[in-house]
Each structure stands twice: as structure tokens, then as C-alpha cells.
């Protein structure tokens, strides 16, 4: 009989899984490591979800999440066939890679077939390489500038690294983990120069001054991804969506699971869209805490990158970032550290409540004093 590992595709055997931030169950832990929203879903969302937990649970949910698509279409001034709803934006990203990229990474000599290429900037969302690898696609990683800004369209045109013909290009905007926002006109220039699918991953856009959703309605090859996880405090319910040309949306519908979006999630997302003033107030609170925390950390010697998201990327003083991670964890504060070379000197800190930010600042002062 074959060993179990011989039954696994070599591609899968060789892969490294995406590593999500820890979800430890430690009493009193201040959890600033996974960019969750510190505020609960709106009272209306909680009441609506509670009221929906009844004998309906035996039924399949709406297979296309149609009421949610229609509601999102009204908000974004398009039609429901421009909207795809997924099990979190992670599923939307994974389906886009499957729908638009040829697997196989076929290389003829040294020439890479552009139809097999998944392109993205580094550093950005660390799921992208996993999606490319799972699909057997070719990764094309293009470095951001040292301050994490986007290279300009003309510099990219001259660069041998950038491929205008990559089957799909994924851009995290505002960027994670840097927090930096990209101007819509810069993104527009990149989209215009690009021949493959351009997916703008706007997971954090509700905390930013600007968004690029209009590009998905203007250009047939541009998709914008959004999520209810961050701004709408609904990580648990797994709801994300894409906006784009109906032909691209129909392709995603062809390959998705029949009931890819769970019923309570659909109900929760619709109720969240009915409570927009509650969430607008939360966005403003988070932005205020972000400004205050950034100022305080800067005064304690941290290099704080400007952020348009619900987290800040900071380069700490005195000790290496990995050591700060441990020292803060010892004081029951969890932040995120990435081992990738471009960001290993940094910590990514999710913006929590004001009280959590104050506790972090106290811990930082203590660590600086006592080590």
C-alpha cells in the first residue's frame, strides 16, 4: 500500500500553508494581531442574527446571495450582475485566481507563459503566494519602493520585473502590512497599462480617505474586492465581495460552490448595511485612535508609517522587532511580526479601543525602562 504522503499531489506536498495570526484563548489578552475590529457588530446585526437562529437552519441559504448582491449594487450604483459575494474576500481572491489564471506554470525554455502568472507587489497580503502556489501558477513578485509606495506606471513599464500581460495582478490598497494608501490616479494608470485582470484588494478601504471602486465600473478587466470582516466587525461570518464587469462575475459564479455564502452571514451583512451610521461612527473612532496612538508611539522613538487602515506598521527602537513581540506578549499584548526580509524590523499593530491603545503605550514605556 502507498504511504499517505504519496497520495498527496507533489505540488501540495511542497507547499507552505498561509499562516493566520494567532487566536489564543488567554484571559485578559489584548489582541492587536489580526486587524479585527475592536467594536462589536451593530445592535441591529446582533438582533437580526439572533432572530434568524430558528428552524430555518435546516434550509439551504440563497445560493447566489441575491438580496445582498442587489443591496450592494444599489450602494455602488451598478447592477447585481456586477457583484459577486464570497465566503470572505479570501474566497473571492482564490476564485479569481482559479477563474483567470492557467495552472501549470508552463515554461517554454526560460519564457513564462503570461496566462500562468499571478503578479503582486511585495510586501503585500501574504495569502497571494499561497493562492498562486495552490493553483500551480507562476508567482511574479514586484518589490514596492523602500517606503512601500507604488513604483510609478512609467517606471514599471521600464522595469523588467513588471508584466503588463500577467493573467492577474493583485494590489492591496490601502496596502497591508504597511498601511499606506495609493492614490486612485496611480491605480488608474496601472490599470490602463495592464492587459490581464487587475484585482484591487480594498479590505481596509473604509479606514482610508479614498477608494478606487469606480475603476471596477470603468474598466472591463478591473475587479475591486471588499470585506465585511474589518470595518463591519464580521470576521466570524465570512462575507466578502467583488465588483466588476458582469462577464468576469459570471465566470466566478460558474466555478464557485453552490452555496458558498452561509445564510447567517448573508443576513448579518444585510443588517450591517442597514446600520451604516453606527459603523461610520466606529470608523471615525478607529481613525482617531490611530492618530493618537501613532503620535504617542512616535514620541517613544518608534518609526510609525502613515496609515490609512485599522493598523499601523512601526519600527521599534532599542530591541529588534521580534523581541518586542515577545516582550509585549509577556505583558498579554499580542501584535504581529512577519519574518519576511522587507518587514522583519517592523511590528504591525491593529488599532484597538482607546483603552487598549493606552495599555499598549504603558507596556511600551515599561519595556523601554526595564527591558
Interactions with ligand PLP, residue window 291-350 (CB under 6 A): none
Q: Which window, 59-67, 87-95, 160-168, 211-219, contacts ligand PLP (CB under 6 A)?
A: 87-95
Binding test (CB under 6 A) with ligand PLP, winner from 235, 273, 359, 361: 235
Q: Does 240 bind ligand PLP (CB under 6 A)?
A: yes
Compute the distance between CA of residue 238 and CA of residue 229 in angstroms, rounded to an integer: 7
Compute the distance between CA of residue 220 and CA of residue 197 in angstroms, rounded to an integer: 9
To ligand PLP, the closest distance from the beta carbon of 265 in angstroms equals 11
Burial of 273 (0-12, 13-18, 19+ CB in 10 A): middle
Compute the distance between CA of residue 334 and CA of residue 329 in angstroms, rounded to an integer: 5
Q: Does 89 bind ligand PLP (CB under 6 A)?
A: yes
User: Pairing mode, if any, of strands 222-227 and 347-350?
Assistant: unpaired
Compute the distance between CA of residue 51 and CA of residue 81 in angstroms, rounded to an integer: 29
Q: Which window, 60-68, 83-91, 210-218, 278-286, contacts ligand PLP (CB under 6 A)?
A: 83-91
Q: Which is nearer to ligand PLP, 231 or 304 (CB)?
A: 231
Interactions with ligand PLP, residue window 147-186 (CB under 6 A): 172, 176
Q: How many amino acids of this chain bind ligand PLP (CB under 6 A)? A: 13
Binding pattern for the stretch 347-366 against ligand PLP, x by CB under 6 A and - elsewhere: --------------------
Compute the distance between CA of residue 242 and CA of residue 220 in angstroms, rounded to an integer: 13
Q: Which is nearer to ligand PLP, 100 or 128 (CB)?
A: 128
Name the residue with the smallest CB distance to ligand PLP: 88
Q: Does 94 bind ligand PLP (CB under 6 A)?
A: no
Do 170 and 119 meet the contact criterion of CB atoms below 8 Å apart?
Answer: yes
Binding test (CB under 6 A) with ligand PLP, winner from 45, 68, 84, 88: 88
Do 351 and 286 meet the contact criterion of CB atoms below 8 Å apart?
Answer: yes
Q: Which window, 82-90, 129-137, 265-273, 284-292, contacts ligand PLP (CB under 6 A)?
A: 82-90
Q: DSSP character for 334?
A: E
Cβ-based neighbour number of residue 27 at 10 Å: 5
Q: What are the Cα distances from residue 246, in Å, to 73, 84, 207, 214, 250? A: 12, 9, 28, 15, 6
**Backbone phi, then psi, for 313, in 5-degree steps?**
-100, 125
Binding test (CB under 6 A) with ligand PLP, winner from 32, 36, 42, 90: 90
Q: Which window, 50-58, 100-108, 227-235, 363-371, contacts ligand PLP (CB under 6 A)?
A: 227-235
Binding test (CB under 6 A) with ligand PLP, winner from 203, 213, 314, 347: 203
Q: Which is nearer to ligand PLP, 208 or 364 (CB)?
A: 208
Angle at 56 between CA 51 and CA 57, to 5 degrees: 95
Compute the distance between CA of residue 286 and CA of residue 310 in angstroms, rounded to an integer: 7
Q: Which three cell numbers stand for residue 66?
A: 441575491
Q: Which is nearer to ligand PLP, 205 or 249 (CB)?
A: 205
Q: Which three cell numbers stand for residue 218?
A: 470603468
Interactions with ligand PLP, residue window 99-128 (CB under 6 A): 125
Do 346 and 177 meet the contact criterion of CB atoms below 8 Å apart?
Answer: yes
To ligand PLP, the closest distance from the beta carbon of 234 in angstroms equals 9
To ligand PLP, the closest distance from the beta carbon of 284 in angstroms equals 21
Q: Which three cell numbers stand for residue 102?
A: 492557467
Q: Which is nearer to ligand PLP, 162 or 228 (CB)?
A: 228
Q: Could you list the residues that contact ligand PLP (CB under 6 A)?
A: 35, 88-90, 125, 172, 176, 201, 203, 227, 229, 235, 240
Amino acid at each position: 500500500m502507498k504511504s499517505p504522503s504519496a497520495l498527496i499531489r507533489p505540488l501540495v506536498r511542497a507547499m507552505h500553508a498561509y499562516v493566520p495570526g494567532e487566536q489564543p484563548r488567554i484571559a485578559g489578552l489584548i489582541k492587536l494581531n489580526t486587524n479585527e475590529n475592536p467594536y462589536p457588530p451593530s445592535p441591529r446585526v446582533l438582533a437580526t442574527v439572533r432572530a434568524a437562529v430558528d428552524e430555518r437552519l435546516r434550509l439551504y441559504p440563497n445560493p447566489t446571495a441575491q438580496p445582498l448582491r442587489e443591496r450592494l449594487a444599489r450602494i455602488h450604483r451598478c447592477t447585481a450582475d456586477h457583484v459577486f459575494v464570497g465566503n470572505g474576500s479570501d474566497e473571492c481572491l482564490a476564485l479569481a485566481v482559479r477563474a483567470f489564471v492557467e495552472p501549470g506554470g508552463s515554461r517554454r525554455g526560460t519564457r513564462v507563459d503570461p496566462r500562468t502568472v499571478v503578479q503582486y507587489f511585495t510586501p503585500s497580503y501574504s495569502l497571494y503566494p499561497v493562492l498562486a502556489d495552490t493553483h500551480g501558477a507562476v508567482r511574479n513578485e514586484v518589490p514596492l519602493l523602500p517606503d512601500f509606495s507604488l513604483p510609478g506606471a512609467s517606471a514599471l513599464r521600464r522595469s523588467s520585473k513588471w508584466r503588463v500581460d500577467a493573467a492577474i495582478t493583485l494590489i492591496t490598497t490601502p496596502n497591508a502590512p504597511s498601511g499606506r494608501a495609493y492614490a486612485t490616479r496611480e491605480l488608474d494608470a496601472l490599470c490602463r497599462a495592464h492587459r490581464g485582470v487587475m484585482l484591487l484588494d480594498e479590505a481596509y478601504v473604509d479606514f482610508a480617505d479614498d477608494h478606487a471602486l469606480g475603476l471596477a465600473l470603468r474598466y472591463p478587466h478591473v475587479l475591486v474586492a471588499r470585506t465585511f470582516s474589518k470595518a463591519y466587525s464580521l470576521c466570524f461570518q465570512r462575507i466578502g465581495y467583488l465588483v466588476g464587469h458582469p462577464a468576469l462575475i459570471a465566470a466566478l459564479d460558474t466555478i464557485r460552490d453552490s452555496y458558498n455564502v452561509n445564510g447567517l452571514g448573508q443576513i448579518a451583512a444585510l443588517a450591517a448595511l442597514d446600520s451604516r451610521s453606527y459603523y461610520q461612527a466606529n470608523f471615525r473612532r478607529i481613525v482617531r485612535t490611530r492618530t493618537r496612538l501613532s503620535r504617542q508611539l512616535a514620541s517613544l522613538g518608534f518609526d510609525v508609517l502613515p496609515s490609512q487602515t485599522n493598523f499601523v506598521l512601526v519600527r521599534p527602537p532599542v530591541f529588534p522587532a521580534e523581541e518586542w513581540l515577545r516582550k509585549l506578549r509577556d505583558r498579554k499584548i499580542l501584535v504581529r511580526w512577519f519574518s519576511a526580509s522587507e518587514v522583519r524590523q517592523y511590528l504591525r499593530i491593529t488599532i484597538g479601543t482607546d483603552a487598549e491603545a493606552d495599555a499598549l503605550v504603558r507596556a511600551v514605556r515599561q519595556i523601554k525602562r526595564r527591558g
